Amino acid sequence: MAHSYVNASQLNAQTGTSISHNHTPGSVCTLIILSIVVAGTTARSGGDPTIGGVTALQADTRRVGLEQSVELWYRCAAFPETATTVVVPNAGGLACHLEVVSATAGAAYASALHSASGGAWADDTADGGTVNVTSSATGDFLYCRLGVGEAAVGSTTESSGSPTKVLTYENDHGAYCSEGHQAVSDGAGTESFVYAWLNDDGCACAAAWSTALAASAAAAAIAISEIKTVSIGAVSVSDLNLAMVYT
Question: What is residue 24's predicted lDDT score, i.e. its pLDDT?
Answer: 98
Domain presence at residue 245: no
Domain presence at residue 14: yes
Tally of structural domains, the chain: 1
Domain presence at residue 124: yes
Domain presence at residue 120: yes
Lowest mean pLDDT among 118-132, 153-167, 195-209: 118-132
Sorting pLDDT into bands at 50, 70 and 90, what band is 166? very high
Q: Contact at 8 Å (CB) between 178 and 68?
A: yes
Q: Rounded CA gap, 203 and 64, in Å?
A: 6
Domain presence at residue 64: yes
Q: Which domain holds residue 135?
A: 4-239
Looking at every residue in the chain, the average pLDDT score rounds to: 88
Question: What is residue 216's predicted lDDT score, i.e. its pLDDT?
Answer: 56
Beta bridge partners of 70: 37, 62
Question: What is residue 124's predicted lDDT score, i.e. its pLDDT?
Answer: 66
Q: Global pTM?
A: 0.86
Q: Contact at 8 Å (CB) between 133 and 115?
A: yes
- What would the pLDDT profile of 21-53 be if each residue is shown by its tens digit? 999 999 999 999 999 999 888 899 999 999 999
Domain presence at residue 247: no
C-alpha Rg value of the chain to the nearest Å: 22
Domain presence at residue 152: yes
Q: Contact at 8 Å (CB) between 78 and 214?
A: yes
Domain presence at residue 244: no
pLDDT(83) > 50: yes
